Structure 1
Amino acid sequence: MKFFTITRGDLDGFFGLMVDNLIQLLVLSALCMGVCGFPLVFITSVVLPGAAVSLLVGNVFYAWQAWKLGQRTNRNDVTAIPYGINTVSLFAFIFFVMFPTYQATGDYKEAWKAGLLVSFASGLIEVLGSFLAAKIRKYTPRAALLSALAGIALTFISMDFLLRTFERPMIAFIPLGVILLQYFGKVRFPFGIPGGFLSVIVGVLLSYLSSFWGDPIYKEGGIQNGLETLGFYFPQLSVTSLFETLTYANLQAYFSIILPMGIFNVIGSLQNIESAEASGDSFDTKTSLLVNGIGTLAGTAFGSPFPTTIYIGHPGWKALGAKHSYSMLSGVFMTLVSLFGLMGLIQALIPVEAGMAIVLWIGIIITSQAFQAIPKHHSPAVVVGLLPAFAGWAVLIIQNVFFFLDGKLQGVLQELGANKEIHFSLSDIPEHLPFLPYALGGVLSLSQGFLITSMIWAAMVVFILEREWLKASVWAIIAAVLSMVGWIHAYELKGNAILNRFTDIANWDFPIAYGSLATLFLFIQFLAPKEKGNPLEH
């Protein structure tokens, strides 16, 4: 295979990754306008072209990387690493950085500049992390890396789209059935039509018909509004705006968001590289992560306040039969969409309901891989590693409910002409509602740094299963140190914002608890010593 090729699997992969990226940009646009006051013209002319730069840089590189690996190993089944806007960072930056800045200043451009600052800092962490990630990967059991991904796949990917599917079953069931038939049942559709393409087409047709049963997907005027944004928007260099806000005071103010999000991006990308290797495609860790960081920095330089990341889902795209070209097709397509202002029109023509079946299937495949690509007796470790992600997802739901209720309360107070400022916030719950149907403190503690927590607990269980008590103890000590400095479990409530605490020790409970656990494992090591060796090698 001397030249780039486009296979049927690449087309399926392109439709899946394209829909995924479109969803990110649609959510990004809606939140920037609705929460931070961005005018549509600013998003269309500045933010989206900047995001296109980052998407093009990464997708083209990862397509080339997969092609080169295929050339070097004489294989034609290498699948490129998926890549796109980081969903978790998107929400974190908007709600905890850009929205508070917009509230304080009333200026959407100041909110945008604050977003550029945290995205730039996150990109630097990704670049620096690329030089350390290979070591982390070497000393971490595969079950610990894959279980954290599976937790995200089950919660933040699968559950969201599963709930949407059951919200509109008459639209979503048939596209999902098409995907399941082709990729689980190996059914070939007439004329060789790719399942991903057929699923989207059927979803669009059913969406058009939805008005007949009283649940219309398409809104009046949507296409006309989409046509109004058409044009050509060349990426605008935004380095001057970035440097205007790149101060020590601002970095310190946003440190509690920058550090965990940067670490989250590095660890998440690292886990996705491990997932690719478990599927048979071994990519260089440092280079893959370095380009990921460079993509974020490139997007920031051209006005995108949202970092990119190596996406979860490589085994899913591989199962679709996608190879290297699906990634390049997605990068080029998203660039054209962003540069020519096509986002509004595509949003009007292809609703989320039409393409979410592919993304749901990807989540299922990722979760399956966590159990299939490890020794069978390590499966309990995967189950343990899944649990922290559920806490992270629960906190997101709880937080969104409180944001919604607080917004409704402010609307009612405004209508009543109330002078007193009253808020419905998470920070008031422990004081006013001490008896809750769930352990709020436990949910919040487990959710903070849940990716790292997932790795730690899954690794401990792996080494307990292997009766390697000293290694289990080392991971417990790592957890004690990380909890002491606030990388995991530490949080601070400010209204409905949940912030990490790095400046002091939030409490001694977790460091002492993990220290006690490490002592217990060492005690067992003393009673039943195992062969000596590096306590981290596996």
Structure 2
Amino acid sequence: MSSVPEAEAGASPRRGWSRGGDLNAFFGLMIDNIGGMILMTSLLVGFGMPRDFVLSRMIPGTAVGVLVGDLIYTAMAWRMARKTGRTDVTAMPLGLDTPSTFGSVILIIGPSYNAALGRGLDPSAAAEHAWFIGLSMLLASGIFKLACAAVSGWVRGAVPRAGLLGSLAAIALVIISFLPLRDITAHPVAGLVSMAIILATLTARWKLPGQIPGALAAVVAGCAVYYGMHVAGLGPGPGEGGPAPSSLLRVALPMPHDAWWAWIGHAWPEVVGYLPVAIPLALATVVGGIDCTESAAAAGDDYHTGSVIAVEGFATVVAGLFGGVIQTTPYIGHPAYKAMGARSGYTLATALFVGAAGIFGYFDWIFFLLPRTVVFPILVFIGLEITAQSFHATTYRHYPAVGLACVPALGYLAMITINNLLSDMGKPFGELRAETQGWIATVTMLSGGFIVTSLLWGTFLAHLIDAKVRPAVVTLVLAAVCAWFGVIHSPLPSGEINMPGAVLDKLQAAGRAAASAQQTPYHWAAAYLAMAATVWLLGKFGQPPTAAEQGEEPIAI
């Protein structure tokens, strides 16, 4: 039986573009995107970047990506409605990709800003340098996604779902769900009230009186508690004590093409060095977009997969051309929005609201007035949802591969704490105890390029579970190549990509050679090649699991 509802007799598709459910869907999608912009701004300001620079240079283009993508998805829904004569078509939702927000800021833009400061640039020049790095990665991601649109089916089959979704789950569980808890619990009364409503309405599916959107209720209730405590003298006020925006509204739409083109002529080696981080994030959105398209088809709206991915890539490129730094992606919530009764009014409203917020500057006031502690619970929900979807969309026998893919992200989480402690202590690495040096060196290498590591580890184990020896060996050889050049397991704190000899010279200069003596790029590459040889010998002389042993039944422990 088809799940596609029939068209209403005699109804015009044009009259079906908006319904009452679009209001609930709008608040959910809009707050999700605004939360992503708040997250991006907070993380960048946390790295020390000037707040006004982020709001006036990076936010407008990022918002334009949402504007363009959701407008096109709205038009695609209208086109489907006209073509089929249906009035129940729900538009694909699009927004800022949360894993990329963390990945781009924490692994690309923030480190490039700190590196520029270390080279003696002033904060303004360092911020511009990091901005150009970020938009370069965004343009590269968009072009990559446009290329994938034509071969989206092949991309989906080239990488086992456990490998790709496992790396996504690693980001979701360890970074998206955990790191926002720092801001949520900084003011736990307001933050946990908001999180309780989010978890009740979005995760546990409770309904509020009057069909009030859960995301809206969480923000309103959290703000009521937050500002109530401020009035009572028990907490900070707007902006957590920071300065208010300097103007009511402003118009900003950067077009940094000429300056960027002159800059990239001498900065391209650094840009290339960040591609191994940016491209896996883009690949994850491509496969996620394919999954979202299939999910929409199952709910009754069968969009063309290549078109959905192409729009995603196009919106990402447009965002980069106007100075954006975070990529857009289809959201997994289409079936939920359709169940709310939404059509395409919610994507149109989200496009206009978010785009105008970035261009005309009223996002500055949203960032100032909405406390992070009451907005970030939506990120916890997103992280949990992505993690759950990663397991749900993966066959049971590949669960261990998904779990293994999550492990390298723990190394990165540990490195965040270690770097903060070392910075506060002001103690050189060489003055630490040998045992402490060895621990830091090991965690540094485990965290280096952890997204790629997660992808490779999950892919390898999924192939091994399926008794596919040749793909497993190829994956390990690829890991050896990546380790040789420092794409993964770089022993340098910066995680830079270089030849092993140059890496060893830099370790010697930094006083870290002794601590990393047994974990150089040579050792890691040799280790993966040894693993590949072991698996090859296992395939040649070992006995693969039977079809029954590859089934879905768990192993008794």
Same-fold call, TM cutoff 0.5: yes
Alignment map for 1:3-152 (pairs within 5 Å): 3=14, 4-5=17-18, 7=21, 8-27=23-42, 30-31=45-46, 35-37=48-50, 40=52, 43-64=54-75, 76=89, 79-84=92-97, 86-102=101-117, 104-106=120-122, 108-109=124-125, 111-113=127-129, 115-117=131-133, 119-120=135-136, 122-128=138-144, 130-132=146-148, 134=152, 135-152=154-171
What are the superposed Cα offsets for residues 234-278 of structure 1, whole Å, 9 maximum, x if unpaired?
Answer: 42432221122121x321244323x22332332332343255257
Between 279-288 and 386-395, report the one with greater CA deviation.
Answer: 279-288
CA RMSD of aligned residues (A): 3.6
| 1:159 Cα deviation from its structure 2 partner | 0.9
* Closer, same or farther: CA 399–189 of 1 in aligned 2, 3 Å: same
Kept in 2, the 8 Å contact 1:10–1:323? The answer is no
- 1:499 partner SS: coil
Q: CA shift at 1:309, angstroms? A: 4.0
Letter in 1 for 2:111: F
* Secondary structure in structure 1 of the residue aligned to 2:436: coil
TM-score norm. by structure 1 comes to: 0.80
Matched, 1:331 2:351: yes
Deviation at 1:450, TM superposition (A): 1.7
Counterpart selection for 2:269 from 252, 255, 261: 252
Question: Are 1:358 and 2:400 counterparts?
Answer: no
**Higher mean C-alpha displacement, 464-473 vs 43-52:** 43-52
Kindly indicate whether the alpha-carbon contact (under 8 Å) linking 2:190 and 2:373 is maintained by their aligned counterparts in 1. Answer: yes
Matches within 5 A, 1:495-534: 498-504=494-500, 507-528=521-542
Correspondent of 2:418 among 371, 382, 398: 398
TM superposition shift of 1:292: 4.3
The structure 1 residue matched to 2:192, chosen from 164, 173, 188, is: 173
Which residue in 1 is equivalent to 2:402?
A: 382
Query: How far off its partner does 1:130 sit?
Result: 4.1
Question: Contact 2:167/2:454 (CA < 8 Å) preserved in 1?
Answer: yes
Letter in 2 for 1:211: H
- In structure 2, what is the equivalent of residue 192 of structure 1? 211
- Distance in 1, matches of 2:310 and 2:320, equals 15
Match of 2:460 in 1: 460
Amino acid at match of 1:105: L
Matched letter for residue 335 of structure 1 = G
SS of alignment partner, residue 5 of structure 1: coil
Equivalent-residue separation in structure 1 for 2:338 and 2:527 (angstroms): 42
- CA displacement, residues 97-153 of structure 1 (integer Å, 9 cap, x when unaligned): 334435623362464155225522541354135425733421222222222111111
Equivalence for 2:392: 372
**2:165/2:390 contact within 8 Å kept:** yes
Match of 1:308 among 319, 323, 327: 327
Distance 1:67 1:331 in 2: 15
Note the C-alpha offset of 1:60: 2.8
Residues 44-91 of structure 1 show CA distances to partners (whole Å, capped at 9, x for unaligned) of 554433333333223333454566678889774664243357332133
Any gaps of 5 or more consecutive residues in structure 1?
A: 407-422, 532-538
Change in 2 beyond 3 A, CA 1:448/1:323: farther
Is the Cα–Cα contact under 8 Å of residues 30 and 354 in structure 2 kept in the other structure? Answer: no
Bigger shift: residues 21-30 or 373-382: 21-30
Which amino acid in structure 1 is aligned with residue 68 of structure 2?
V
Following the alignment from structure 1 to structure 2, what is the Cα–Cα distance between the partners of residues 373 and 210? 43
Match of 2:510 in 1: none
Cα deviation, residue 203, structure 1: 0.8
Helix, strand or coil for the counterpart of 1:310?
Answer: strand
Q: How far 1:527 moved relative to its partner?
A: 2.3
**What is the identity, as a one-letter code, of the residue corresponding to 1:361?**
F
Contact 1:15 1:197 in 2 (8 A): no
311-320 vs 467-476, greater mean Cα deviation: 311-320
2:289 counterpart residue number: 273
Q: Is the CA contact (8 Å cut-off) linking 2:66 and 2:355 kept in structure 1?
A: yes
Q: Secondary structure at the match of 1:501?
A: coil
Change (3 A) 1:521 1:130: farther
Instruction: Tell me the number of residue pairs that the alignment of Structure 1 and Structure 2 aligns.
Output: 499
The answer on whether the counterparts of 1:238 and 1:302 sit within 8 Å (CA) in structure 2 is yes
- Distance in 1 of aligned mates of 2:35 and 2:210: 26
For the Cα contact (< 8 Å) 1:102–1:108, is it kept in 2? no
1:284-295 alignment to 2 at 5 Å? 287-288=307-308, 290-295=310-315
Change (3 A) 1:353 1:105: closer
The letter of the residue matching 2:93 is: A
Letter paired with 1:251: W
Say if 2:398 and 2:462, in contact at 8 Å, map to a contact too. Answer: yes
Alignment partner of 1:435 is 2:455: no
Deviation at 1:283, TM superposition (A): 6.6
Change (3 A) 1:234 1:189: same
Percent identical: 21
Measure, in 1, the Cα distance between the counterparts of 2:470 and 2:111. Answer: 40
Q: Return the alpha-carbon distance in structure 2 between the equivalents of residues 526 and 360 of structure 1.
A: 46
Whether the aligned pair in 2 keeps the contact of 1:147 and 1:383 (CA below 8 Å) is yes
- Between stretches 321-330 and 172-181, larger displacement belongs to 321-330
Partner of 2:549: none
* C-alpha distance in 1 between matches for 2:83 and 2:442: 49
Alignment deviations for residues 402-460 of structure 1 (CA, whole Å, 9 cap, x no partner): 44x27xxxxxxxxxxxxxxxx54xxx426633212983233222222222221222222
Displacement after TM superposition at 1:230 (Å):
1.7
- Aligned-partner Cα distance in 1 for 2:339–2:182: 23
1:232 correspondence with 2:228: no
The offset of 1:206, in angstroms, is: 0.7
Give the secondary-structure state (helix, strand or coil) at the position aligned to 2:355.
helix
Q: Distance in 1 between matches of 2:163 and 2:187?
A: 35
Q: 1:480 and 1:62 mapped to 2: Cα distance?
A: 41
Q: Please give the alpha-carbon distance, in whole angstroms, between the structure 1 residues aligned to 2:184 and 2:339.
A: 21
Residue of structure 1 equivalent to 2:508:
none
**How far has the Cα of 1:201 moved from its partner?**
0.9
Match of 1:241 in 2: 259
Pairwise CA distance, 1:207 = 0.9
- Following superposition, the deviation at residue 390 of structure 1 comes to 1.9
The 8 Å contact of residues 49 and 339 in structure 1, kept in 2 or not, is answered as: yes
Letter aligned with residue 268 of structure 2: L
Amino acid at match of 1:256: G
Following superposition, the deviation at residue 465 of structure 1 comes to 2.4
Matches within 5 A, 1:149-160: 149-160=168-179
